[in-house]
């Protein structure tokens, strides 16, 4: 019985289940809420099964329809994929419970099928082992995300969605050109095969440039982040949370994979460039966030800044210490939890006051304590203060920076933390005070408050789970607390 469970192809289920759920939502619109929640919960269980299988049997590989690479489609999952899948499932679950109460019946009918399609696409993406499948999943992710942004049909949402659509199509196109070039050069789209075959020549360098630029555009790496604030700020709160927490991680993940397996060995200069852009993103995004007077735009610019930290991994960890995969997965997970909590909390504040002007929060701390607590806890992680996953992530980056003598990057990270504290506490300070003109407030359903709070608590608790996350990605690392401090030996 147990062995039977172990051998189920959990990976296939994580893709097929939300697809089936999405189709069900289209066929029976009245059932979309239960169909959606059941699908998402099912995906969480399937990923638990997949994780169990990976821990028992090591890396997961499944040839769809029995045709293996290079002819057929392979599903593949290692520790890095697994952490990304867990992140998607847990954050997705929290946002789903929020969305259950957030959308009017009319919007809900449109939200659920698209969200389930997005979930299937994300899972497929994290389970792909070849660059063409990655393209297909990336394109699906992008289109579903654009559709979600435009969901309400309000004029500002449509404007944001249009910019977003252009950016995401351009990004995928550049990536696809890179795929073609690599296929032409090395005769395969399978990453493992490519890794053995490619040599740094003109075609590979061109592919590298195109793919990196396309993916950086989709991940909104500064200065290619122009599309993100309007899109993320104008979307409905659960959609903003999905976009900021999960969707940008998809393109980031592909870029990381390419770098880990294909380009990292010879493109050190480009790594340095990505790191510099990341540092610029931290400063620019944080300064912009500090200038905002509306919460959702503030949170969106904070995402621009936080993406910068993810890209510091390229100069700091990719070349040298072999921790790039685990650090990237950990940082992405941490940001996903904190940022989704923050957008959901912002959504609650908007529903509560009918606006998201920061100076007008009008004693939200007393009237909406769980939401403000969610915002505060998520904020602690975003500004990188202990005890939180944001602190651990920042410590890992700082440690890498100091041991490589990258003072410039260390100073940027410290300043980024200070700026983040500035914009987070700007919101929290006004949550304590009374507005000049008191407003009538609308009630916020308890589930929406708790969804935000639980995600934020997740961001804090993840701070105590770094050893476990790292062990998922590097099973060969032994972690023991000892007299002299923890020993992490390969």
One character per residue 306-325, x = contact with another protein (rule: CB under 8 A): -----------------x--
Residue 286 CB, nearest distance to another protein (Å)? 13
Residue 80 CB, nearest distance to another protein (Å)? 17
Stretch of residues binding another protein (CB under 8 A), selected from 88-96, 222-230, 293-301, 396-404: 396-404
Q: How far is the C-alpha of 282 from the C-alpha of 302, rounded, in Å?
A: 9
Element housing 359 (H / E):
none
344 within 8 A of 350, measured Cβ to Cβ: no
Residue showing tokens 């294909």: 262
- Indicate the pairing of strand 60-64 with strand 73-77: antiparallel
Among 263, 238, 306, CA closest to 98: 238
Stretch of residues binding another protein (CB under 8 A), selected from 190-198, 286-294, 304-312, 415-423: 415-423
**Is residue 467 near another protein by the rule CB under 8 A?**
yes
Stretch of residues binding another protein (CB under 8 A), selected from 66-74, 209-217, 295-303, 382-390: 382-390
Three-state secondary structure call for residue 178: helix
Query: Which of 385, 441, 445, 457 is in the footprint of another protein by CB under 8 A?
Result: 385
Please report the DSSP string for 94-156 in residue order.
HHHHHHHHHS-HHHHHHHHHHHHHHHHHHHHHHTB-BHHHHHHHHHHHHHHHHHHHTTT--HH
Stretch of residues binding another protein (CB under 8 A), selected from 80-88, 221-229, 250-258, 380-388: 380-388
Q: How far is the C-alpha of 174 from the C-alpha of 176, rounded, in Å?
A: 5
Residue 481 CB, nearest distance to another protein (Å)? 5
Residues near 206 by Cβ (< 8 Å), separated by ≥ 6?
A: 178, 181
Site for another protein in 416-435 (CB under 8 A): 417-418, 421, 425, 428-430, 432-434
Stretch of residues binding another protein (CB under 8 A), selected from 85-93, 279-287, 448-456, 464-472: 464-472
**201 vs 468, which CB is nearer to another protein?**
468
State the first-to-last Cα distance of the chain, in angstroms, to the nearest integer. Answer: 35
Other CB atoms within 10 Å distance of the CB of residue 209: 16
Residue 474 CB, nearest distance to another protein (Å)? 11
SS3 content of the chain, % helix, strand, coil (to 5): 75, 5, 20
**249 vs 394, which CB is nearer to another protein?**
394
Site for another protein in 352-371 (CB under 8 A): 363, 365-366, 369
Query: Which of 1, 2, 155, 481 is in the footprint of another protein by CB under 8 A?
Result: 481
Stretch of residues binding another protein (CB under 8 A), selected from 186-194, 213-221, 239-247, 388-396: 388-396
489 pairs with which residues across the strands?
478
Question: Phi-psi bin for 354: left (phi > 0), alpha (psi -120 to 50), beta?
Answer: left
Query: Which of 71, 437, 443, 484 is in the footprint of another protein by CB under 8 A?
Result: 484
**Is residue 282 near another protein by the rule CB under 8 A?**
no
Radius of gyration over every alpha carbon of the chain, rounded to an integer in angstroms: 22
Query: CA torsion sign, 77 to 82 to 83 to 84?
Result: positive
**Is residue 403 near another protein by the rule CB under 8 A?**
yes
**266 vs 425, which CB is nearer to another protein?**
425
Query: Which of 182, 398, 452, 456 is in the footprint of another protein by CB under 8 A?
Result: 398
**Is residue 283 near another protein by the rule CB under 8 A?**
no
Number of residues that bind another protein (CB under 8 A): 41
Residues near 176 by Cβ (< 8 Å), separated by ≥ 6?
A: 135
Residue 205 CB, nearest distance to another protein (Å)? 34
**230 vs 463, which CB is nearer to another protein?**
463
Residue 37 CB, nearest distance to another protein (Å)? 27
The CA-based diameter of the chain, rounded to the nearest angstrom, is 68
Other CB atoms within 10 Å distance of the CB of residue 407: 10
**Is residue 410 near another protein by the rule CB under 8 A?**
yes
Residue 306 CB, nearest distance to another protein (Å)? 17
Q: How far is CA 91 from CA 133, 177, 208, 349, in A?
A: 24, 32, 31, 20
Which residues form the interface with another protein (CB under 8 A)?
A: 323, 363, 365-366, 369, 380, 385-387, 391-392, 395-396, 398-399, 402-403, 410, 414, 417-418, 421, 425, 428-430, 432-434, 464, 466-467, 470, 479-481, 484-488
């Amino acid at each position: 019985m147990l062995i039977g469970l172990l051998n189920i192809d959990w990976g296939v289920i994580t893709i097929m289940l939300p697809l089936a759920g999405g189709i069900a939502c289209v066929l029976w619109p009245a059932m979309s809420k239960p169909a959606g929640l059941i699908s998402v919960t099912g995906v969480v269980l399937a990923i638990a099964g997949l994780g169990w299988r990976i821990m028992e049997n090591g890396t997961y590989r499944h040839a769809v329809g029995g045709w293996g690479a290079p002819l057929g489609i392979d599903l593949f999952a290692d520790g890095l994929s697994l952490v990304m899948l867990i992140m998607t499932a847990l954050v997705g679950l929290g946002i789903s419970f929020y969305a259950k109460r957030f959308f009017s019946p009319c919007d809900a009918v449109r939200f659920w099928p698209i969200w389930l399609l997005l979930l299937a696409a994300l899972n497929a993406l994290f389970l792909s082992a070849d660059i063409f499948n990655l393209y297909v999943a990336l394109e699906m992710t992008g289109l579903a995300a654009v559709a979600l942004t435009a969901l309400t049909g309000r004029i500002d949402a449509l404007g944001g969605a249009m910019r977003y659509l252009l950016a995401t199509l351009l990004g995928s196109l550049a990536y696809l050109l890179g795929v073609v070039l690599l296929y032409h050069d090395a005769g395969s789209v399978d990453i493992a095969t490519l890794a053995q075959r490619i040599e740094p020549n003109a075609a590979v360098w061109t592919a590298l440039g195109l793919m990196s630029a396309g993916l950086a555009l989709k991940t909104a790496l500064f200065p290619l982040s122009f599309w993100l604030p309007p899109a993320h700020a104008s979307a409905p709160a659960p959609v903003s949370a999905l976009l900021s927490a999960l969707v940008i991680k998809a393109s980031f993940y592909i870029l990381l994979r390419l770098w880990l397996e294909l380009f990292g060995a010879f493109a050190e200069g480009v790594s340095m460039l990505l790191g510099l852009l990341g540092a610029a993103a931290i400063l620019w995004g944080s300064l912009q966030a500090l200038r905002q007077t509306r919460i959702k735009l503030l949170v969106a610019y904070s995402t621009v800044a936080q993406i910068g930290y993810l890209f510091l991994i390229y100069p700091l960890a990719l070349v040298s210490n072999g921790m790039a995969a685990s650090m990237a997965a950990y940082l992405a997970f941490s940001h996903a939890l904190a940022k989704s909590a923050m957008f959901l909390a912002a959504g609650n504040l908007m529903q509560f006051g009918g606006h998201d002007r920061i100076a007008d929060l009008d004693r939200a701390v007393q009237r909406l304590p769980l939401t403000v607590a969610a915002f505060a806890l998520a904020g602690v992680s975003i500004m990188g203060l202990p005890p939180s996953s944001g602190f651990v992530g920042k410590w890992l980056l700082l440690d890498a920076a100091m041991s490589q003598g990258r003072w410039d990057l260390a100073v940027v990270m410290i300043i980024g933390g200070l700026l983040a504290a500035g914009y987070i506490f700007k919101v929290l300070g006004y949550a304590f005070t009374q507005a000049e003109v008191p407003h009538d407030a609308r009630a916020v359903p308890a589930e929406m408050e708790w969804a935000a709070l639980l995600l934020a608590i997740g961001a804090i608790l993840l701070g105590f789970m770094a050893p476990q996350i790292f062990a998922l990605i590097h099973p060969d690392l032994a972690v023991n607390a000892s007299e002299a401090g923890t020993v992490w030996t390969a």
